[in-house]
Amino acid sequence: MAKRAPAAPTPLPTREQVLAFIAEAKDKVGKREIAQAFGLKGADKIGLKRLLKEIEDEGVIEKSRGGLAKAGRLPPVLVADIRARDRQGEFLASPVEWKGDGKAPTIVVMPPRGGRRDKRPAPGIGDRILVRVEPDGESGNRYTGRVVKVIGKNRAEIIGVFRAGAQGGRIEPVEKRSQGREILIPPGEEGEARDGDLVSVSLERETRMGLPKGRVRERLGSLGSEKAVSLIALHLHNIPHVFQAATIAEADAVKPATLRGREDWRDKPLLTIDPPDAKDHDDAVMAEPDADPDNPGGFVLTVAIADVAAYVRPGSGLDREALERGNSVYFPDRVVPMLPERISNDLCSLREGEKRPAIAVRMVISAEGTKRRHSFHRVMMCSRAKLAYAQAQSAIDGHPDDTTAPLLENVLKPLWAAYAALKTARDRRGPLALDLPERKVLIGADGRVDRVIVPDRLDAHRLIEEFMILANVAAAETLEQARQPLIYRVHDKPAPEKMRALGEVLASVGIKLPKEGALRPALFNRILAMAAETEHAVFLNEVVLRSQAQAVYAAENLGHFGLNLRRYAHFTSPIRRYADLVVHRALITACGLGKDGLASDVSVPELDRIGEQISAAERRAMAAERETIDRLIANHLAERVGSNFEGQISGVTRAGLFIKLDETGADGFVPVSTIGADYYRHEEARHALVGERTGETYRLGDRVEVRLAEAAPVAGALRFELLSEGRTRSGAKRTGTKKPGRPFKAAPSGRPPGIRNSASRHRGSRR
């Protein structure tokens, strides 16, 4: 058999052909992609490799993680960091790697094409992204890009506390996951930082030997200030907290609204009921019996909401900054408002005795609490009184004061009678009935924690909540009927994997997950009712909360599972939530209430993009608020190292146990290596750690006693030593005090060794 002649080598592409292919490529380009495009195989690739090396040595092309690109140009796909927003609200990013001359190109990150159907997480400032880019013009210094994937936060920039040394200094990172991992600051790289300052650090490439090195980019503030703890959260989560000078000037120039184009409601007995320390008041309420004989026992409810749309116009500087912030952020020691104080605390705050513009909804309900009809009005109102929740409740309970006594019969009692009807309707509807104590951290004059309390849950709180829910439903219904695009508040049903996890947790404490076809809040309410009289009541309320989906803002209506409502839109807090401002503008347009409503050309995809943006801002705010409380409580408890506390096992991992303290609600960690002399095996299905030799078991939900071993206030982390005995093989609880395992060793520089991240405890979504 004659030998087959070897195939002739495929001719190499020319230098110009390779450069043209790289320039026109829409995806990542490397040697493999070029070889495939020109049909090169085997030994032919050697010549291609040599050609590419020659072109690269000439400086015509550059190699990066995103592939090959013409020199001075970005590759089609690359890793970038989102740094800021432009005046149109678009994210601006810059490449992580840039070897060209001059300043790195700017990438304008475009919104995803899929809208709500795109299930990828929405990017935000500080995120590191994989992005596909295209040149925007011929300058080569501006690109447009679409996110392929959100990789995570930019870990090349670290927020930490600067500790000065004889030669340079060191950085103690503030994030829990970075605890125990200091960063060396060489001499001359300290910038303006002084010992104890909170700083932003650029991290250099890490080496296998020694500490990673960094350079202080910016001094953020002193940790000796009263508001230092919230300062950490603001910078760690990239939360804008200083208004631009132009925005402040715009707010200062605003003229108060007049009666023109409004109904005069200044004589109506509307009043505000808020926390005693509230600085802005964006909702007022009133109720009166319905005089219609066809509605016996019914009521007319009125909810008036501050007319923020009268002052914050679409596209203005005020509007752009409000959208960037998304919402106000509330810390125990400060508030970061969505709008400047001239708007939020003055012109839009429904102050007692002062005329204020409002958008009001008038709702007629039956004696059973069913809404029969409603209408929206643009009005000028004057609040009759500013009441605190406890003050209003005390009056209803028979203890009026000088302010509430004149209001009791004609104003407060009708409100409570209307609430009784709404409560009947609520019970019939059957929303998710979680019962979780909301702890409040009280700060003293020195900026430190004075104490942690659980405020009483009063009917006054529930009354305002029910009035607001009904008003939000009315807003969604009106906009739907008018076919007006809007931003809904949506809460999807729990995912199957979360239901399976919930079933496992319930089984671990002897409760069987009830079987039911379609998921309804009633299913979870039955679980909570079964646990109500057990030691696991609070714990299982938290577990059910963790099983829920997160509520978000979207232009597509998915309903609200937790409230058991088919349609729901936030309307009642435009001072502190951008979503409500959008709904106000939509109502102005739909109801013909003025010319400052939502623009007629606003599209559903655009509203969806806004919904994703403000949902991300809300998650950012929740994380910042939670972590600030963790840091404040850790600082509060640092003086009680060595003290014993009662708590409950709130998480079980291979590495150890998470413990939630009864007294403060603080989370801490018990490393598995410190539990005892046995080897503890993690049984995931049982949510337990089980001693291999003794069978001693610690499982999710168990009550325990712990000793505080160490506290890291800057990170908000606590480490405990377990004192309680575990369960026996039979499942019975042992009594007595546990013998500690391996002793704790103090870390150098006072850092707590092995403190784990307890921030993985999920919080539920805001309604």
Quick: pLDDT tens for 510-525. Answer: 888 877 667 899 999 9
Q: Are 380 and 266 in contact (CB under 8 A)?
A: yes
Which residue among 576, 593, 628 closes a domain?
628
Same domain, yes or no, for 437 and 484?
yes
Same domain, yes or no, for 169 and 267?
no
Q: Residue 760 has what pLDDT?
A: 31
Q: Residue 755 has what pLDDT?
A: 40
Query: Is 370 contained in some domain?
Result: yes
Task: Of 142-156, 274-288, 348-362, 546-560, give the lowest mean pLDDT range.
Answer: 142-156
The CATH code of the domain that includes 51 is 1.10.10
For 402-430, give one letter per residue: b (16+ CB within 10 A) or e. ebbeebeeebbebbbebbebbeebbeeee
The answer on pLDDT for 297 being more than 50 is yes
Query: Is 734 contained in some domain?
Result: yes
Task: Of 563-572, 654-663, 710-719, 727-736, give the lowest mean pLDDT range.
Answer: 727-736
Same domain, yes or no, for 260 and 186?
no
Q: Residue 45 has what pLDDT?
A: 74
User: Which letter does DSSP use for residue 55 in this model?
Assistant: H
Same domain, yes or no, for 144 and 162?
no
The answer on pLDDT for 283 being more than 60 is yes
Q: How far apart are CA 531 and CA 528, in angstroms?
A: 5
Same domain, yes or no, for 66 and 121?
no
Q: How far apart are CA 391 and CA 388, in angstroms?
A: 5
Quick: pLDDT tens for 201-210. Answer: 877 655 556 7
How many distinct structural domains can be found in the chain? 6
- CA-CA distances (angstroms) from residue 34 to 23, 42, 75? 12, 13, 14
Query: Is 1 contained in some domain?
Result: no
Q: What is the 3-state secondary structure (H, E, C) of 537-552?
A: HHHHHHHHHHHCCCCE
Query: Is 681 contained in some domain?
Result: yes
The answer on pLDDT for 740 being more than 60 is no
Query: Is 273 contained in some domain?
Result: yes
Quick: pLDDT tens for 367-421. Answer: 999 999 999 999 999 999 999 999 999 999 999 999 999 999 999 999 999 999 9
Read off φ and ψ for residue 329, nearest 5 degrees. -120, 130
Quick: pLDDT tens for 221-272. Answer: 777 666 778 888 888 888 888 898 999 999 999 999 999 999 999 999 999 9
Same domain, yes or no, for 656 and 591?
no
Query: Is 373 contained in some domain?
Result: yes
Query: Is 234 contained in some domain?
Result: no
Same domain, yes or no, for 473 and 368?
yes
The CATH code of the domain that includes 147 is 2.40.50.140
pLDDT averaged over every residue in the chain:
84
Q: What is the 3-state secondary structure (H, E, C) of 293-354?
A: CCCCCCEEEEEEEECHHHCCCCCCHHHHHHHHHCECEECCCCEECCCCHHHHHHHCCCCECC
Mean pLDDT of 568-593: 97
Same domain, yes or no, for 481 and 565?
yes
Same domain, yes or no, for 271 and 135?
no
Same domain, yes or no, for 320 and 464?
yes
Q: Which domain holds residue 40?
A: 15-70
Quick: pLDDT tens for 669-701. Answer: 999 999 988 999 999 878 889 999 999 999 888
Which residue among 108, 124, 153 closes a domain?
153
Which residue among 38, 54, 70 closes a domain?
70
Mean pLDDT of 614-640: 91
Q: Residue 14 has what pLDDT?
A: 75
Task: Of 158-162, 315-319, 344-348, 459-463, give the lowest mean pLDDT range.
Answer: 158-162
The answer on pLDDT for 134 being more than 90 is no
Quick: pLDDT tens for 419-430. Answer: 999 999 999 999
Full-prediction pTM beyond 0.85? no
Quick: pLDDT tens for 465-519. Answer: 999 999 999 999 999 999 999 999 999 999 888 898 888 888 878 888 877 667 8
Same domain, yes or no, for 661 and 603?
no
Task: Of 92-101, 431-440, 570-579, give the lowest mean pLDDT range.
Answer: 92-101
Same domain, yes or no, for 661 and 541?
no
Q: Residue 260 has what pLDDT?
A: 95
Q: Residue 696 has what pLDDT?
A: 92
Quick: pLDDT tens for 85-100. Answer: 666 667 888 887 776 6
